[in-house]
Amino acid sequence: MARTDWFDDTRHLPIIDEKVSKLAHFVNSMADGVIEKSELETQQAALVEAMKAIEPELNDAQHEKVTQLMLELSAYNIMRLLHELQTTRLERFAKS
């Protein structure tokens, strides 16, 4: 299987989001614009399964790097979501 890039060198942006948008369970969960508790639990189970699959294969140095990567990605996703929500809120306020 070919390696999937994690970022776009030309835009200096992570492209993981583009890959996420191709996950069937994500697309199905997002379709109605509401994330149900069961959908969140399904995603959590998928995350735990993926973590359990990779963690035993990592040596200590790799584990530390992957842990840092997951932390940075989580922080980025939360910050980006909040920025988008704030921007949308400001745009709505400006129109009113």
Does residue 70 share a domain with residue 90? yes
Express each pLDDT in 27-36 by its tens digit: 999 899 899 9
Does residue 46 share a domain with residue 73? no
Number of domains in the chain: 2
Does residue 91 share a domain with residue 67? yes
Give backbone dihedrals phi and psi of 15, rounded to 5 degrees, phi first: -115, 15
Round to whole Å and give the CA distance between 9 and 67. Answer: 23
The model carries a pTM of: 0.77
Express each pLDDT in 19-69 by its tens digit: 888 889 889 998 998 999 999 999 999 999 999 999 999 999 999 999 999
CA dihedral of residues 6, 9, 14, 17 (deg, nearest 10): -80
